[in-house]
Amino acid sequence: MWPEQAKLLAYLGNAVVMAAALALAIWIIERWFAAVPSGGRAALCTVALLAAGLLPAMSLGPHPALPPVTILVNANAVATAATVSGAPFSWVTALLWLAGLSVLARVAWLIRGLFRLRALRQLSAPTSDPAIRRSVNLATPVTFGFLDPVILVPESQWGQMSEAVREAVLAHEQAHIVRRDFLWNLGVEVATLAVWWHPAVIWLKRRWTLARECSCDELAAARVADYAERLLEAATQLVPARPPACALGVLDGDSLSNLNSLDARMLNLTRPCFPGPAARRALMALSLVIVFATALTVTLFPVAAASADRRTYSMKDEGVKAPKLTHKVEPTYSEQARDAKIEGTVKLHLVVNEEGVAEDIYVVEGLEESLDQRAIEAIGQWRFTPGTKDGQPVAVEATVEVNFRLL
């Protein structure tokens, strides 16, 4: 496994564990501390999602520089009928390719949604309020933008609504603007690009969506009389639909189908009042402690890829003695390289582990594909007296130059 692969694999492993641990923490908070306000629950989910995507990036720190020591080996010009075509395609490589493709797919979805929002805004018609525009291409109101936010309302249904219902819908969408939900939504999507498919991340986003909508309902209810009834009336006249990427709708089709969010929002608006301000602050502080303690625990005890789960030393580190070669297997020419009369040097990086075995071998400066692979296969069979630090065997990095010369 190459160091870069180990780092990416460690990032994915840590992100998967971090997301699962934080989802469990949010579940515990929602189960034990039901009196935490909706705005507080939304903030906790935001912190959890950002932590799940960003904290594991500490796995991608710089890799130590290659040590200056080299070992020279001359390969005999021995003909062989076997040929090798390229480096082995391991399950690690396949997993990282799959993860990369999933990120590209999510980026494409996000960019497509943002461009669609831009087109909807350009095609919409102005109203007396510059922040509100009418669109014939929407079935439900949506809000987007953070520098110049806009509320798009559906042309066909908007005129059929009563003034009271329109006021309730606009109050909800304006609450999204006050809370800067579009910016937070975009930030969470970017932060979780690598693990957007994780069931824990999907669950956290749904809980976050519900808490965010309940918080906007509470803000709107403080401005509009009989808000709950107006919201129900709007639900009967509007078509629930998932808005484009990062846009915010008063009736989110995804939330309605999977979380029964409208029922939950009605219950949130009609339930008894929260405890006093002091109790709410105490619950919020305790909830934050749980979330941060979970994130800190996973950060301090991370998942590591196989090649990164121990300290690897350099020859130049203080107290380190270099490993000594005890058994050498000569690399041989491939038929195609011999016929093409290719000569030169292959430079490789390797780690001699505590058992004296060469591992994590990869080409630093290649010569020809088949000769590069022959050099890797030969060095994999070498045996060393392990390097030591303060008398104890340790893993030590080295570089090897394999010279291919035709005799």
Q: Identify the weakest region by mean pLDDT among 73-82, 133-142, 148-157, 165-174.
A: 73-82
Q: What is the pLDDT of residue 64?
A: 42
Q: Which residues pair with 398 in a beta bridge?
A: 350
3-state secondary structure of 355: coil
pLDDT confidence tier of residue 260, bands split at 50, 70 and 90: low
Ramachandran angles phi, psi of 84, nearest 5°: -125, 135
Residue 189 has pLDDT above 90, yes or no: yes
d(CA 250, CA 11): 36
Q: Give the domains, in start order, of the chain with CATH numbers.
A: 96-189+216-259 (no CATH), 310-404 (3.30.2420.10)
pTM attached to this predicted model:
0.66
Q: Are 291 and 40 in contact (CB under 8 A)?
A: no
Per-residue pLDDT tens over the stretch 379-394 = 989 999 998 988 889 8
Q: What is the DSSP letter of 188?
A: H
CA-CA distance, 188 to 291, in Å (whole number)?
A: 16
Dist CA 175 CA 221 (whole Å)? 10
CB 350 within 8 A of CB 379: yes
* Integer Cα distance of 400 and 74 in angstroms: 11
Give the pLDDT band (50/70/90) at residue 220: very high
Q: In what order do the strands lie in the sheet with 320-321?
A: 320-321, 388-389, 392-393
8 Å CB contact between 229 and 88: no
pLDDT tens digits, 231-254:
888 888 876 667 777 788 777 644
Question: 317 — phi, psi (to 5°)?
Answer: -70, 145
Q: What size, in residues, is the chain?
A: 407
* pLDDT band for position 4 (cuts 50, 70, 90): low
Query: pLDDT for 329-347, tens place per residue?
Result: 888 888 888 888 888 899 9
In sequence order, the 6+-apart residues with CB closer than 8 A to the CB of 231 are 168, 172, 217, 250, 262, 265, 266, 269
Listed range (107-116, 191-200, 267-276, 364-373) with the worst mean pLDDT: 267-276
d(CA 189, CA 166): 30
Q: Kindly provide the residue ranges of all beta strands, DSSP E only, lying in 193-343, ordered along the sequence.
A: 248-249, 312-313, 320-321, 324-327
Q: How far apart are CA 107 and CA 100, in angstroms?
A: 11
